[in-house]
């Protein structure tokens, strides 16, 4: 049995969710509500001690880390619509892209998302209520991030993250102007994991991702969103927490 703990079809939660839909596996989804800090409740910290989604329960064994979950699904269900190439060089290219998402692209988009969305949400709580929630966050760096979002990130931090977002967008556009998918002719986890972050940027960062400046990136986003698996995912997991295609900035 496969059960995915998730906020819905957006950001890191989207990666294994879209992979599960693409592979047409049988699975259930347990949605958590971030606005109620459900992911910091004790029952969920027993599942993922970091208090973060996504997490996959496979027959009682828990796998965390969105990209690791995607690779795990390929290892366990290699025949079900493969999303990883067979050739070792191509696998390496795919992993360079997924590593880049996890270590670079995700973080700059995330900070801007926290500034825009988490900050106002956090400011709606009284100081005491907010600190009570923060005290339940198990990862010290995440506590700092919540506090920074509530205060508002310093301008130099936001400027630097926007610079990294511009670098990221240019990198994706450059590759997609050469090849239909990120590592060539095959749709892989490289595309899914990048789409998880880039997929809503035509709305949240329309000054950077648009028809004039990034036509190839835009076509690629639309092409993935139109795939039957993505359409089924958005139809079956409508989310008031993570609106399809509009929440790249909420990672």
Ligand X SMILES: N[C@@H](CCC(=O)N[C@@H](CS)C(=O)NCC(=O)O)C(=O)O
Binding residues (CB under 6 A) for ligand X: these are 7, 11-13, 39, 52-54, 65-67, 102, 142, 251
Q: Which is nearer to ligand X, 67 or 186 (CB)?
A: 67
Give the nearest distance from C-beta 137 to ligand X in angstroms: 6
Give the nearest distance from C-beta 87 to ligand X in angstroms: 25
Give the nearest distance from C-beta 46 to ligand X in angstroms: 15
Give the nearest distance from C-beta 76 to ligand X in angstroms: 18
Nearest Cα to 142, choosing from 13, 49, 50, 36? 50
Cis peptide before 184 (omega within 30 of 0): no
Q: Which is nearer to ligand X, 7 or 195 (CB)?
A: 7
DSSP helix/strand/coil, 240: coil
**Structure tokens of 181?**
């998918």
Give the nearest distance from C-beta 14 to ligand X in angstroms: 8
55 touches 12 (CB < 8 A): no
Sign of CA dihedral 118, 164, 213, 99: negative
Q: Which is nearer to ligand X, 36 or 166 (CB)?
A: 36
Q: If you search the block for the tokens 């459900």, which residue do you land on?
A: 38
DSSP conformation letters of 47-82: H-TT--S-EEEETTEEEESHHHHHHHHHHH-TTSS-
**Structure tokens of 64?**
């965390």
Q: Which is nearer to ligand X, 101 or 218 (CB)?
A: 101
Give the nearest distance from C-beta 65 to ligand X in angstroms: 5
CA–CA separation, 225 and 234 (whole Å)? 9
Q: Which is nearer to ligand X, 12 or 186 (CB)?
A: 12
Strand 61-64 with 55-58, pairing:
antiparallel
Q: Which is nearer to ligand X, 54 or 200 (CB)?
A: 54
């Amino acid at each position: 049995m496969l059960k995915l703990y998730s906020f819905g079809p957006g950001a890191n939660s989207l990666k294994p969710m879209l992979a599960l839909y693409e592979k047409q596996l049988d699975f259930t989804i347990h949605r958590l509500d971030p606005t109620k800090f459900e992911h910091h409740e004790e029952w969920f910290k027993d599942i993922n001690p970091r208090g973060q989604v996504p997490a996959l329960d496979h027959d009682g064994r828990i796998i965390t880390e969105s990209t690791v979950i995607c690779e795990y699904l390929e290892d366990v269900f290699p025949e079900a619509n493969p999303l990883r190439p067979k050739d070792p060089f191509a696998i390496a290219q795919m992993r360079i892209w997924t590593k880049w998402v996890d270590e670079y692209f995700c973080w700059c988009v995330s900070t801007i998302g926290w500034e825009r969305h988490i900050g106002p949400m956090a400011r709606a709580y009284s100081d005491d209520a907010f600190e009570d929630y923060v005290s339940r966050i198990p990862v010290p760096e995440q506590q700092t991030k919540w506090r920074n979002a509530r205060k508002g990130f310093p301008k130099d931090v936001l400027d630097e993250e926007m610079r990294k977002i511009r670098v990221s967008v240019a990198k994706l556009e450059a590759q997609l102007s050469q090849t239909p998918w990120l590592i060539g002719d095959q749709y892989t986890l490289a595309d899914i994991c990048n789409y998880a972050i880039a997929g809503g940027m035509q709305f949240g960062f329309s000054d950077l991702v648009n028809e004039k400046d990034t036509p190839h990136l835009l076509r690629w986003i639309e092409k993935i969103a139109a795939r039957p698996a993505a359409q089924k995912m958005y139809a079956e997991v409508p989310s008031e927490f993570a609106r399809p295609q509009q929440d790249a900035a909420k990672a």
